[in-house]
Amino acid sequence: MGEWSEYFEDFPEENPANWVNGEFNPRLAQEIRNQEDRLRATTNKARSEINAVIMKAWLETKSKAFLLTEDCPQCGLTKLNTYKISDTFYLCECQDCGIHGRGETHSLALKSTFDAIGDGLDWRDNVI
């Protein structure tokens, strides 16, 4: 790769990245790349802002949906929070070891948490 970039420094017209619509125009090619970079940066910024809004809404939903804390089947600590997100969506998340499960009822969510023992799950790895 280093050899190619040195080669292109000596022979810029040989570099396909310096051509725009069949015309050798390194300046325009660079401007287009800059424009694309700016577009990408703007898109990424918008995406993280959207994610932040979604995250905030999700955390608010969760805090309102908090149901109870009980013993975690994996680490044994009383850190397993259950949230009733809706009538048919219960979510269990251990605040210590990170194990989690979900189900249509509290007991199904607990069962899916039990089933996940040893899987190395951590809800904080994938909050949404």
75 touches Zn ion (CB under 5 A) = yes
* 60 within 8 A of 39, measured Cβ to Cβ: no
Question: Using CB under 5 A, which of the segments 2-10, 22-30, 70-78, 100-108 binds Zn ion?
Answer: 70-78
* 96 counts as binding Zn ion under rule CB under 5 A: yes
Alpha carbon distance 76, 12 (integer Å):
65
| 121 is a site residue for Zn ion (CB under 5 A) | no
To Zn ion, the closest distance from the beta carbon of 84 in angstroms equals 20
Selected range binding Zn ion among 36-44, 46-54, 95-103, 112-120, rule: CB under 5 A: 95-103
User: CB–CB of 65/83 below 8 Å?
Assistant: yes
Is 106 within 8 Å of 82 (Cβ atoms)? yes
Q: How many CB atoms lie within 10 A of CB 37?
A: 10
Which CB sits closer to Zn ion, 15 or 95?
95
